[in-house]
Amino acid sequence: MNNNEYEDYKDYINKLEGEYQGTFEKIEVYINYSSKLNFLEKNNCFLQILDTFLSGQEEGRAVKEITGVSLKKYCDAMIYGESIYMYKASRIFSILLGTLFYVVYMHFFIRVCDVISLKDSSLIFQPMKFGIGDIALILGCTSIPILLSHITRNYFENPKRYKKVKRYNEFGVWIFTIMIYVSLNQFLEEYGIVIAFPNIVLILLYLTIIRLVVWLLTKTFVEGNSEDKKAKKRNEYLQILNKEYDVHVKKHQRSSKLSLNWNEFLRKKTKSNSVFIKIFFAYSIILLVLTFLLGGLMFVKTNGNIDVVGIIILVVISFFDVLMVAIVWEGIQRNKQLNKIEKSINSWEMGR
C-alpha cells in the first residue's frame, strides 16, 4: 500500500437510506466539529459506524436499537472507546484546574489595574482575600460546562444553531459571572478569608499567569480555536508528507537508488522530529530558568517594588519560552500523527 491508498468512508454514505442516512449526517457533523481525532482516525470511526448502520439497515432494525436513546453518548463511545472514562476524568480535572487559574487571574488582573490607576506598585504584593465574589466566580466556571451539556442535547436537531447558542451562552455566563464577582467584592469587601503569601511565591505565581496568558494568546493566533481549523491543519500536514515522499522517491529514482517505502519514510520523519523536539525542549528549559532567575533578581534589587522595564523583559522572554514550548508541542503532535498514520496503514494491510 502506498501513501495515497485508503478506504474513504464517503464512498459508502449513499448506501444508507431514510432514518439511517439522516442519523449519520448528524453523527458526521458532531464528530467533525466536536472531536480532536485526526483525519485518518475520523475516517476509520465513520467506517465503523457505517459498517454497523449498513448491517442494521439490511436486517431491518431501527436506528435506536443501535445507537440507544442518547445519540451523543453513542458518538462519544465511538470516538473514545474504552478510554471514555479517562476522557471524562481529564475533563473534570481540567475544569477544576481552569477554575483555580481564573480565580487567581482575576485577583492578578484587578491588582494590575489598581497599580496603574493608583501608581502604587506595592499593591501587587498585598495579601489576597478570598470571599463571596470568588465563590460566585467558581460557580460560574463550573456551571459553564454543565449549562453547555444541557444545550448539547439539542445538538443533533440543528447543529448550526447549536454552535451559535453555545458561543453566546458561554460568553453571557462569563460576563454575568465577572459582573457578580466585581460587585460582590466591592460591596462585601469586609467578608472573606485573608491569605498572605510570601512575596517570592506571588512572583512565581504572577510569572506563571503571564506565561499561561502568553501561551493561550499564541495558541489562539497560531492555531485557532475551531476544530475544523485544527482538522484542516492536520490534513495540510498529511498533504505536506505526501509531497515530501514524492520528492524523496523521484530524487532516488534519478540517482538510481532504492527509495524508502512509506512506512520507513514515516519512521525516519519521526526520528528527525524527535531530535528537534529535544533541542527546543532544552531551549525552553533554559529560558524558563532564566525567567525565574530574572524575576527573583528583580524582586531583590527593587526591594519588593515593581520594575516596569523588568516586567517587559520577563514578558518578552516568556513569549520566546512559550514559542519554544509551542514548537515542542507541535512536534509531539506531529509524531503522534505519524505513528497513527503508520498504524492505520498496517491495520489496513493486515485486513486486506
Domain map of the chain by residue range?
15-83, 92-119+128-195, 198-352
> E strand or H helix at 106, and its extent?
helix 84-118
Record: fold of 15-83:
c-terminal domain of poly(a) binding protein (1.10.1900)
306-316 tens-digit pLDDT: 566 666 777 77
- Asked if pLDDT for residue 2 goes beyond 50, the answer is no
| Higher-pLDDT residue of 34, 143 | 143
Grid coordinates of 169 = 451562552
Grid coordinates of 309 = 522595564
- Asked if pLDDT for residue 60 goes beyond 80, the answer is yes
| Residue 23 exposed, middle or buried by CB count within 10 Å (0-12, 13-18, 19+) | buried
Q: Could you give the CA distance from residue 30 to residue 71 in angstroms, rounded to a whole number?
A: 10
- Asked if pLDDT for residue 72 goes beyond 60, the answer is yes
| Higher-pLDDT residue of 81, 54 | 54
Q: Could you give the CA distance from residue 225 to residue 152 in angstroms, rounded to a whole number?
A: 18
Q: Could you give the CA distance from residue 318 to residue 244 in angstroms, rounded to a whole number?
A: 34
pTM (2 decimals)? 0.48
Grid coordinates of 271 = 526520528
Strand partners, 194: 129
Q: Work out the pLDDT band at 272, boundaries 50, 70, 90.
A: confident
| Residue 114 exposed, middle or buried by CB count within 10 Å (0-12, 13-18, 19+) | middle
Neighbours of 121 (CB within 10 A): 16
E strand residue ranges, 230-337: none
| Higher-pLDDT residue of 7, 347 | 7
> How much of the chain exceeds pLDDT 90, in percent?
1
Q: Work out the pLDDT band at 1, boundaries 50, 70, 90.
A: very low
What pLDDT score was predicted for residue 3?
45
Grid coordinates of 174 = 462569563
Q: Quote the Cα angle for 338-342-347, to 5°.
A: 145
Q: What is the mean pLDDT of the chain?
A: 74
Strand partners, 195: 128
Strand partners, 93: none
Instruction: Answer positive or negative: Cα dihedral of 343, 344, 349, 352.
Output: positive
Q: What is the dihedral of CA 38, 39, 40, 46, to 10 degrees?
A: 100
Packing angle between helix 18-34 and helix 71-80, nearest 10 degrees? 60
- Asked if pLDDT for residue 54 goes beyond 80, the answer is yes
148 closest CA partner among 124, 174, 130: 174
89-114 tens-digit pLDDT: 777 777 777 777 777 777 777 777 77
Neighbours of 209 (CB within 10 A): 16
Longest dimension (CA), the chain: 82
202 closest CA partner among 134, 320, 116, 112: 112
3-class DSSP state for residue 2? Answer: coil
3-class DSSP state for residue 60? Answer: coil
145-154 tens-digit pLDDT: 777 777 666 6
